[in-house]
A and B are shown apart, each in its own frame.
Chain A
Amino acid sequence: MLELERRKVPSRTMIWLAPVLAVLATMVVGGLVFSALGYDGFAAVRAIFIDPLITLRKWQDLGLKAAPLVMIATGLAIGFRANVWNIGAEGQYVVGGLAGTGVALATWEMTGWWILPLMCIAGALAGMAWAGIPALLRTRFNVNEILSSLMLTYVAVQLLYYMVNGPWKDPDGFNFPQTRIFTDAQMLPYLSGIGYLNVPLALVISLVVWFLMARTMLGFQIRVVGAAPMAARYGGFSQRRTIWLALLAGGGLAGLAGLFEAAGPFGQMVPAFPTGYGFTAIIVAFLGRLHPLGILAAGIILAVTYVGGEASQSSLGLPSAATGVFQSMMLFFLLAADVLVGWRLRLRRRVTE
């Protein structure tokens, strides 16, 4: 019979092989499941996982989707490493976009190089503030951050609805619930052939975070607190400060990602602004092994499924929710494959008597 046997040390190979296995398993099982549901399952797998990668003109779409995912997931992974479960990145993303929009509306009809940086700062600070609430609740009142950060997402979305329906509604917008369109000074520069500036920025951010996590005391502190809280205290690292750090980093990056979306692809604030990046980023963070460089790769994989999913809606008639099903299946398979990191599968003869 098959038995699981604990490895003395987690397998390094398996840590990086598990995501690959998970993606492959998702393609195979996903194909079978969608075939069983009456779709052309394997064409769907091809369309969702392969086509966007081999079609050059789709690469720009990949960057567009991957950049926010990578940024948010990189921030979340800092927290997950420290055992801080911020799952409200979607809300932090929304308030980041909102704060940037606020600056944009306040600087309406102004020009200057300083407007966009100010919007960025506002977006990051708003995301940090929104994530600071769960941090405060956790450190002061011992409130579980999973619940508080998630609840705040619903609050953030309502705040968005209120703003676009009320104070920020475009006066020339035929009563549509949306803000004015940003001016050129308020938009991210567009680099032809690459996309908005946030694509290269996301790359830079993930390299910076990789350095911080791998080489500095800050990263060491976060990893120690997550791996062994008692040892962290013994090493002289404050858990309270780490919780703050983790949530602020996650909130800041999510907020900045939100601002980039608002000042990039959206170009204004609309009710459809929350696109679920904040939740998908959780999958990205895990698939990327909570490692900034792994997250870069995982962000591209998830972006592929988004782009492929959209294309297959028209070409194969797949429902729009199919993407989400594929994405969550990938996380399921990853979590299942993860067992191989700590355990070894062994064929074992049952002792008979």
Chain B
Amino acid sequence: MTEAMAVSILMTVIGAATPLLLAALGELVAEKSGVLNLGIEGMMLVGAVTGFAVTSSTGMHLLGLLAAMAAAVGASMIFGVLTISLASNQVATGLALTIFGIGLSSMIGESFVGLTIAPLGPVFPAALAEDPLLRLVFGHSILVYVSLVMTAAVAWFLTRSRGGLILRAVGENDHSAHSIGYSVTTVRYAAVAFGGAMAGLAGCYYSMVQTPMWADELTAGRGWIALALVVFSAWRPWRLLAGAYLFGAVMTFELHAKAAGLNIVPPEFLAALPYLATILVLALISSRRSVGSAAPACLGQPFRPST
């Protein structure tokens, strides 16, 4: 294998891992505050279609990214109002958000089918990334760097900052946090909105970087894999990074095997591989008792201050 080929494979791994990492980081923060949002897939699709539509209409990628985040935050707020203010069942509400996101994105996307936009390219000047090895460092779109910086930021926030301490407290014991005087509602809204923004960015990765055109359900269940990654990481950001890159590698294997015309296994099996891998990893991880106890104690529980 040549150096160039190895680099190209690694580039694909990074590309496959980045949206997973972005979406999962947002979900990790939401879950740390005690909210289980199963609507990642829906928020990603809303973000993806908004990013594509705005970029396509204005030609400005940055505007597309911002609009995508705003739209996904909006979608997350539907979920927030229902689960946080109205104490609805988080599982059902998250599922509804996913179904809604699929329908809404496909409806908005209908008029954009067949159009293409200029893909969101690398941030750094191409000259910096001519050497294959330097390309690994400098050859990525802004979203890759954002995902890495956000991993560090979320890790710092959760373990080192007072805000993170409060967020964890709310997720561990909402009634205690409330009785001490913290607003469980405010913290959870903020965490859910953050989850929405990150899912919006993750969605854009598919519609603006990977395939700069619109197709229905182009996230293809990746939002669910992001959800599984949060469990895999035992709610730790750096482990999440590792998990995302591991899955990126699995998906890359699928792509390269297809491209290489590998005929030993049918392509459908390769397409099913990431999902099978997710199940396998979940089985390996979940059977260890420490993982169950790593979950925030209030995860998925609706909160109502007792009177």
Contact = CB atoms under 8 A, between A and B. Distances in A.
A and B touch in the complex (CB under 8 A): yes
Interface of A: 5-6, 85, 87, 133, 137, 140-144, 146-148, 150-152, 154-155, 158-159, 161-162, 165-166, 279-280, 282-283, 286, 319-325, 327-329, 331-332, 335-336, 338-339, 342
B92 A335 contact: yes
Interface stretch (B14-22, B101-109, B130-138, B140-148): B101-109
B93 interface: yes
B107 A321 contact: yes
Contacts of B307: 5-6
3 cross-chain pairs, A with B, having the tightest CB-CB distances, nearest first: A324-B103, A328-B100, A321-B106
Nearest to B304: A6
Interface in B211-229: 216, 220-221, 224, 227-228
B272 A283 contact: no
B86 interface: yes
Interface stretch (B27-35, B177-185, B274-282): B274-282
A319 B108 CA distance: 9
B282 A137 contact: yes
A283 B96 CA distance: 8
B96 A328 contact: yes
B86 A339 contact: yes
Interface stretch (B58-66, B245-253, B263-271): B263-271
15 contacts: A142-B292, A143-B286, A144-B231, A150-B221, A151-B275, A154-B220, A155-B276, A158-B271, A321-B102, A324-B102, A327-B99, A332-B82, A332-B100, A339-B87, A339-B88
B276 to A, nearest CB: 6
Contacts of B186: none
B38 interface: yes
A216 B242 CA distance: 49
Contacts of B92: 282, 286, 331, 335
Nearest to B106: A321
A324 B110 CA distance: 14
A324 B103 CA distance: 5
Given A161-B268, A321-B106, A141 B100 contact: no
Interface string B78-102: 1001100011110111011101101
B283 A137 contact: yes
B157 to A, nearest CB: 26
Contacts, number: 137
A154 B282 contact: no
A332 to B, nearest CB: 6
A323 B103 CA distance: 8
A336 B275 contact: no
A158 B216 CA distance: 17
Given A166-B266, A321-B104, A147 B224 contact: yes
Nearest to B287: A141
A320 B304 CA distance: 39
A335 B96 contact: yes
A147 B278 contact: yes
Nearest to A323: B103
Nearest to A142: B286
A144 B286 contact: yes
B103 A148 contact: no
A321 B95 CA distance: 17
